Amino acid sequence: MAEKVNYNEDSIKSLDWKAHIRMRPGMYIGKLGDGSAPDDGIYILVKEVIDNCIDEFVMGYGKSIEVSIKDGMVSIRDYGRGIPLGKVIDCVSKINTGAKYDSEAFKKSVGLNGVGTKAVNALSSWFRVQAFRDGKSKLAEFERGEVKKDEKIKDSTDKNGTLITFRPDDTVFVNYHFINEYVEKMLWNYAYLNAGLTLWYNGNAIRSENGLRDLLQQNLSGPIVYPIIHLKGHDIEIAMTHSDQQYVEEYYSFVNGQHTTQGGTHQVAFREAVVKVVRDFVKKDYEAVDIRTSIVVAVSVKVQEPVFESQTKTKLGSQDIAPGGTSMKSFVLDFLKTELDNYLHKNPETADAMHRKILQSERERKELSGIQKLARDRAKKANLHNRKLRDCRVHLTDLKDERRLASTLFITEGDSASGSITKARDVNSQAVFSLKGKPLNAYGLTKKVVYENEEFNLIQSALDIEDGLDSLRYNKIVVSTDADVDGMHIRLLLLTFFLQFFPDLVKNGHLYILQTPLFRVRNRKETIYCYSEDERRAAIAKLGAKPEITRFKGLGEISPDEFKHFIGKDIRLEPVIIGRDANIPQTLSYYMGKNTEERQKFIISNLRVEKDLVEETA
């Protein structure tokens, strides 16, 4: 019988703005995290401030934004009009206060609810705002949302604009750290979507001249079938091509400058519209999957008063492009029916190349159909008997986006490591997939091998990514192998598999490497787990008097009780990041292709045998 709880007037509480944000931060910035994932809260804080700067630029005020991040401190300066000086404190500390309720002033803004900078303020241990406007300035400082300094308006020689500096609260974002690649990717997206804008990040200029064409060119994983098609219209811009190597659809979608990583109605509208336009152009009723296989697209729309499905604005829910206006579906279709159709008629070589790609996709699909059916049946049977996958409870109920965002799949090496992680995991959100031996080297192979190779087929089935990332069952896929030569080799083979067949999984920040301790240093009173030589030396210095030192050689040596420390709230994950200048085919060819003389020299010059490792840690 449930315990009775008193419910009376004392049960009803009213929280002030900052207390509510700090108690329920997920409502305002999504998940917290330590910065190892691109959608962790510390990046949302940065984005919320920059969104306001972008709105100023879009309205014609200020052509540059300066962003600096150093030692956990963030500084963002724009050269817009500056917050009206008499309302500086209100704009950063009073919910439902701001200029964006006036649709004429901010017709197609990203943030319309007046929450953004208030959330940044409340979730920062220190926050300062300074507005410069017409030869005057106003400065205020806060600690966790509480006003600590409220200076009077002063004369100033600074250019108009706003400067916001803050330090995320380390009691909310535990052990947080900013990863430069994530910040740079965010800033580049702003540049691609705002021609003429220069963003400075730690002194380096970020600027795009060709909008979404540049975005697509920078993010392509390899050769393409035809030159990028770049189409621009009123409130819509699209860049598209077909990849010559990857097999899934890949999308970069934006609404009012916001990167909608989970897509939404605009992306759905494009997927439907491109099929109809291409069918009409070639005058043949091809299967939608054959038209869209290998397509790579960037699409940006501007919507008046957009409706997003969460405060973090990662998925558009608006059905219309303006209140009472044209439907999103009709808007995108009408644009493509005119612009894409015209482009294909004017560029017959591109049209022919696209048509050949569709025919190739159709042929490959038909060749694979029998194999796919057998592979799916085998995967279902394997999952039924729980041979490989030990799932989490998130997937035993209705799958909701917000719950999937908290889910993790560990891909483990061998039965012993799999057993330890399985016993130590959080069964609600952490699943385990157990590898048997070393995977196949997938470099240069076709998609056919994914269905014919049991290991690859079962991984694909567990992730549910056969048709792209829309149905991805886990937000984080964590490769968990020993830190020895065999473990590193298995790690490399798995990375090759994902980069060869599902590069968008890596590009979208879903793939990680589990960091486990190399040493355990302990005495009778304290145990310290160390992930590096420096940490080992520091632990010895701290504990003193000859502590016991254990070097872990494999995950199977770590007991389930100890594993709880490494895959719980203090988990250390190293994200797999594809740099801006990375060439995936070239990289895979070098490391996973034929054993060239150049690679042999690289291996020899970087060789460290186990004997050396033992001597280093002795």
pLDDT reading at 192 higher than 70: yes
Mean pLDDT in the chain? 85
Return the CATH class of domain 212-363: alpha beta
The domain segmentation of the chain, as residue ranges, is 17-206, 212-363, 386-516+554-583, 518-551
Higher pLDDT, 158 or 609: 158
Contact 257, 190 (CB under 8 A): yes
Residue among 583, 516, 524 nearest 553 (CA)? 516
pLDDT reading at 45 higher than 70: yes
Alpha-carbon gap, residue 200 to 191, rounded angstroms:
10
* pLDDT class of 262 with cuts at 50, 70, 90: confident
State residue 614's pLDDT score. Answer: 46
136: helix, strand or coil: strand
Percent of the chain with pLDDT over 70: 87
Total-model pTM: 0.82
Percent of the chain with pLDDT over 90: 45
17-206 is a CATH 3.30.565.10 domain:
yes
Tens digit of pLDDT for each residue in 550-586? Answer: 988 778 778 888 888 888 888 889 999 887 777 777 7
* Cα distances (angstroms) measured from residue 89 to each of 121, 147, 185, 407, 593: 11, 9, 31, 38, 59
Contact 268, 217 (CB under 8 A): no
Q: What angle do CA 520, 522, 527 make, to 5 degrees?
A: 80
Tens digit of pLDDT for each residue in 296-306? Answer: 999 999 888 78
Contacts of 508 (CB under 8 A, 6+ apart): 38, 261, 469
Higher pLDDT, 365 or 98: 365
State residue 14's pLDDT score. Answer: 57
Contact 344, 227 (CB under 8 A): no
* pLDDT class of 166 with cuts at 50, 70, 90: very high
Burial zone of 158 (CB within 10 Å; 0-12 exposed, 13-18 middle, 19+ buried): middle
Alpha-carbon gap, residue 163 to 29, rounded angstroms:
21
Question: Lowest-pLDDT range, 283-287, 409-413, 548-552, 614-618?
Answer: 614-618
Question: To the nearest 10°, the Cα dihedral for 40, 41, 42, 45?
Answer: 140
274: helix, strand or coil: helix
State residue 1's pLDDT score. Answer: 46
State residue 613's pLDDT score. Answer: 45
Locate tokens 């070393």: which residue?
438
386-516+554-583 is a CATH 3.40.50.670 domain:
yes
pLDDT reading at 138 higher than 90: yes
Q: Which two tokens stand for residue 448?
A: 């056919």
Higher pLDDT, 207 or 101: 207
State residue 193's pLDDT score. Answer: 93
CATH topology identical between 17-206 and 386-516+554-583: no
State residue 25's pLDDT score. Answer: 83
Mean pLDDT, residues 126-149? 95
* pLDDT class of 617 with cuts at 50, 70, 90: very low
Q: Are strands 408-413 and 430-435 parallel, antiparallel or unpaired?
A: parallel
Of these ranges, 94-98, 340-344, 381-385, 601-605, the one predicted with the greatest mean pLDDT is 340-344
State residue 112's pLDDT score. Answer: 46
Question: To the nearest 10°, the Cα dihedral for 486, 488, 494, 500?
Answer: -120
CB atoms within 10 A of CB 334: 14
Alpha-carbon gap, residue 400 to 406, rounded angstroms:
10
State residue 113's pLDDT score. Answer: 43
Burial zone of 475 (CB within 10 Å; 0-12 exposed, 13-18 middle, 19+ buried): buried
Contact 26, 172 (CB under 8 A): no
The widest CA-to-CA distance across the chain, in whole angstroms, is 82
State residue 415's pLDDT score. Answer: 76
pLDDT reading at 105 higher than 50: no
Locate tokens 């009009």: which residue?
81
Residue among 21, 40, 45, 169 nearest 571 (CA)? 40
Tens digit of pLDDT for each residue in 4-38? Answer: 656 555 655 556 778 778 888 888 888 888 899 88
User: Residue 4 has what DSSP assignment?
Assistant: P
pLDDT reading at 98 higher than 70: no
State residue 411's pLDDT score. Answer: 94
State residue 111's pLDDT score. Answer: 52
Contact 270, 238 (CB under 8 A): yes
pLDDT reading at 246 higher than 90: no
Tens digit of pLDDT for each residue in 386-419? Answer: 568 888 887 655 444 555 667 899 999 877 778 8
140: helix, strand or coil: strand
Q: What angle do CA 503, 509, 513 make, to 5 degrees?
A: 95
Residue among 111, 110, 117 nearest 94 (CA)? 117
Contact 455, 493 (CB under 8 A): no
